[in-house]
Amino acid sequence: MDILDNALPDVSVIIPSTDESSTIQRTILSVKNIQPTLEVIVVCPGLTSRTTRHAYASGAKVIHSSSLITYDEARALGALHAKGETILFLEEKNSASPALLNKIIDASRKGWDLVLTAYSSSPTKRKQSAQRLAARLLNHISGKTELEAASLCFVPYALNKSALKKIGNQLLCTPPLALACAVEQGLSVTTVTSLSARRGYVGKHGVMKKQTPLILREHAEAICYLMQDKGQRAGLPDGDRFRVLLQAPELLHLRSVFNQEPSEREVDGWGAKRKAKRSSPKKAGRRVHKHLRKK
């Protein structure tokens, strides 16, 4: 028995849960079937609750928090106690199929540091959410456009033990910043496409769930972090613009920003071209002809 208890699991599954979750037991039992060597860690803010009883009954390890925390903070706390080489993060009401979870674990075993779930919008949904647009912008600035709108803000996702050591479990409390730091440190990031058409679960409990303004602020913090190292344009090219010319006085600023040298017809400035049109012989003749007819 001692040998079995001391054996390190291959995968650690972190599930943050509210005090009175009605689905935690079903989630734990379904997860235990996907991998033989696996530990399940449930992070719950309540000390004596239905969630705690069901988690213990299902063979999971329970981590208690002394105060109310967000789902991201619960994942960071659970990662601190994880022993597996691959750490998989789920929701208390898991909507991901076993096939998707196995694909995420397999990708982590193949050497990917972070494995995210690829985002595929619903065919009937024309407009993306603000969170997804923020995630897409962050990935674009970090140079990971292939990730599209995938993010550590949305589970399931996984990372290996080595990546957790480099990022730090506390940084998981701010998922966009954790992803930006992972990219800056050169960690490998990939996405896994879900073959299931089921949509992700949106929790009914607003206590542990972050509101949209907070998620957007976290993305802004991550973007500021990237811009500190990459500059104001985050390393993105500026085309043929010469913005430094805007600081010089008495220049045609708007035209000079896009053209380093003016064309031959505009050497004297924009007004020269217009004056030439006004003094055109044809137009002058027409005006004289109209004047004579009036007389």
pLDDT at 200 over 50: no
Do 272 and 174 share a domain, yes or no?
no
Does pLDDT of 205 surpass 60?
no
Tokens of 121: 């919008």
Claim to verify: residue 259 and residue 206 sit in the same structural domain: no
Same structural domain for residues 13 and 62? yes
For residue 267, the enclosing domain spans 243-294
- What would the two tokens of residue 98 be? 């076993």
Average pLDDT in the 104-112 region?
96
Contact 88, 158 (CB under 8 A): yes
Per-residue pLDDT tens over the stretch 44-56: 886 667 788 888 8
Instruction: Evaluate whether 164 touches 86 at the Cβ level (below 8 Å).
Output: no
Q: What is the pLDDT of residue 198?
A: 44
pLDDT at 287: 55
Q: Lowest mean pLDDT of 59-68, 210-219, 261-270, name the range.
A: 261-270
Same-domain status, 222 and 253:
no
If asked whether residues 107 and 171 sit together in one domain, one would say yes
Are residues 99 and 172 located together in one domain of the fold? Answer: yes
Say if residue 189 is in the same domain as residue 272.
Answer: no
pLDDT, tens digit, for every residue of 158-198? 999 999 999 999 999 999 999 999 999 999 999 999 765 44
Does a structural domain hold residue 238? Answer: no
225 and 254 in a single domain? The answer is no
Domain count within the chain? 2
Which of 230, 257, 282 lies at the terminal end of a domain, its last residue? 230
How are strands ordered across the β-sheet holding 38-44? 61-64, 38-44, 11-16, 86-89, 157-160, 114-117, 189-192
